[in-house]
Amino acid sequence: MDYANRMARLRARLKRERVDALVVSHLPNIRYLAGFSGSNGLLAVTADGAGFFSDSRYTSQAAAEVQGARVRIPANGDLLSAAARHIRGARRVGFEAEHLTWGQATRLQTALGKRARLAAARGWTEDLRLVKDAEEIAAIRAAVELAAGVLPGVIARLRPGLRETEVAGRIEFALRRAGGEGTSFETLVASGARAAIVHGKASEKRLAAGDTVIMDYGVWLHGYASDRTRSVLLGGGGRKAKGILRAVRDAHDAAIAAVRPGVSARAVDAAARAVLRAAGMAQWFVHSTGHGLGLEVHEAPRLGQRSRDRLQAGQVITVEPGVYIPGWGGVRWEDVVVVRPGGAEVLAP
């Protein structure tokens, strides 16, 4: 990963915003800027240097992973004070307003002293993460392909009587066995009437003949997430279920066909919604069409009715329309696509 380039672009932002230093606390941002993959750390960036701070569990890992920053492990475990010492003299200090707690910001201010002023920085690193470079896209592709590869084996063994939790467990075991670093979010398996729950956690409910089964799952690989949903009609499904699945898949395809650089994220959402409206199902499509994906499962851009984002080449997004009918069940179909100059490239189609 080109950490030097990322850090240089962040420093340009610091300069534009007239900030002397930025304290980065959000771990995915730290990983993006300096490579650290552990669970506790702080990065302090100035115009000409950077310090990384963590605790003693991560001494060797930080030494191996962190690039472009001097690693410090304060003996007392107080990372905020160590970061404040590192940027001593800075008058305007940016902090990640969406991620640092009030308590942490207060402690940072105390550690910096009265002469320093805190400035709320919102999305400075997230803005850099919006467009993925080739290495990131390769990492996401590998995660998506790994995840896609395990599902046919699970689907082939779906049968009435299996609990949703058992199905989730099989998916998760298969992801691990294939080399996955862990699930990128809690595996969702919802069947029958439970499939009307948009975010249906796997429960002890047993699959029954005629159920629709929604499986939404993801894996981490090299720090990048996958996210994919498939819906299966157990026993082939009746006319109603088939019609709904057809409409959802058509909406998914229409949204993907609308993806290209420069197009508004709202237009992609509208393309999916139009198909479901024509099928008389728009009122049951109760969430947005998709979201960005990368070092986090949900990141910018958002593909919803109120989104103000515009797609750019190199963005990686999900497309995931769904229909959820209370008392009956639901269907969702989700893929990850890369925004390319000529349109969408579906990963693991």
Nearest approach in angstroms of CB 218 to Zn ion is 6
Residue with tokens 């009956």: 328
Nearest approach in angstroms of CB 227 to Zn ion is 4
Q: What angle do CA 293, 203, 144 make, to 5 degrees?
A: 25
Nearer to Zn ion, 71 or 167 (CB): 167
Residues pairing with 216 in the sheet = 188, 229
Nearer to Zn ion, 74 or 169 (CB): 169
Nearest approach in angstroms of CB 12 to Zn ion is 32
Nearer to Zn ion, 164 or 216 (CB): 216
Residues 6+ positions from 223 with CB-CB distance below 8 Å: 31, 37, 139, 181, 295
Instruction: Copy the structure tokens of residue 206.
Output: 């047993």
Nearer to Zn ion, 6 or 228 (CB): 228
How would you label 44-73 residue by residue, b for 16+ Cβ within 10 Å and e otherwise? bbbeeebbbbbbeebeeebeebbbbbebbb
- Asked if residue 269 binds Zn ion (CB under 5 A), the reply is no
Nearest approach in angstroms of CB 292 to Zn ion is 10
Residues 209-248 that bind Zn ion (CB under 5 A): 216, 227, 229
Nearest approach in angstroms of CB 334 to Zn ion is 5
Residues across the chain: 349
Nearer to Zn ion, 79 or 323 (CB): 323
Nearer to Zn ion, 309 or 334 (CB): 334
Instruction: Copy the structure tokens of residue 239.
Output: 């006319």
Binding letters toward Zn ion, positions 299-338, x by CB under 5 A: -------------------x---------------x----
Residues 6+ positions from 277 with CB-CB distance below 8 Å: none
Nearest approach in angstroms of CB 298 to Zn ion is 7
Task: Please check whether residue 192 is in contact with residue 208, taking contact to mean a CB–CB distance below 8 angstroms.
Answer: yes
- Of 187, 217, 218, the closest CA to residue 203 belongs to 187
Interface ranges with Zn ion (CB under 5 A):
216, 227, 229, 318, 334
